[in-house]
Amino acid sequence: MDKKWLPLTITLGVAGLAVVVAGAWPDNVEKPPLPQSLCHGALSRETAELIDDGQGGEVSAGAWESKGASNDHGVFKECHVLRADQDGAKRRGVYKLVVEETRSAPGTKKDSAPLGPGFTGWALPDRAEVTLPTACAVRMGSAAPHITASLDVPSQDEELLYRRGEKPPVAPETATRNNATVMREVATRLAERYDCTD
């Protein structure tokens, strides 16, 4: 190689390495300023803050993606939404959002509230579920017929609260309404992200 091209080759090599490193850097590490979207872009920070366990604190998220136990699973994304404790030293889990493929048709739960027109899903004070539009499965790399997003809010679990003799931190009607809002946004944002709106 001609020596006059050597500095350019080294520069391009270093730049290429920087791109590879940047692409592999985990995007779930939050640095100031805090990101405005959480959970793989499924939730705005404002909507993520709707669900609370009554203890307050700054919202953040720990999110990761897994392909599941076998190669049959094309989609499995899990996100834990956290809040900082009062002193800010520790973070506690407030709720979990899971996006996964399923072969069963969407159903409903007893005493649940529907998510509203244009959405297939339901909400309860401690849980909720929404099924993404049918085109999303292929767009998300799945051979399954359906992709669902499910929400789990342990602080609103009525059975657990009853056993402890505690009242829910948020009124059940408000919790159900907040969960429905979260699931509508999850379905809308993921469908937009994967370009699979009906």
pLDDT given at position 175: 96
pLDDT given at position 35: 63
Beta bridge partners of 82: 60, 93
Tokens 């590490």, residue located: 29
Alpha-carbon span 178 to 10, nearest angstrom: 54
Tokens 């720990």, residue located: 62
Burial class (CB in 10 A: 0-12, 13-18, 19+), 153: buried
Alpha-carbon span 173 to 169, nearest angstrom: 12
pLDDT given at position 34: 53
Tens of pLDDT, residue by residue, the chain (198 residues): 555 444 444 443 444 433 333 333 234 444 445 567 788 889 999 999 999 888 888 888 876 666 554 445 557 788 999 888 777 678 888 999 999 999 888 888 999 999 999 999 999 999 999 999 999 999 888 889 999 999 999 999 999 888 989 899 999 999 999 999 999 999 999 999 999 987
Q: How many CB atoms lie within 10 A of CB 100?
A: 20
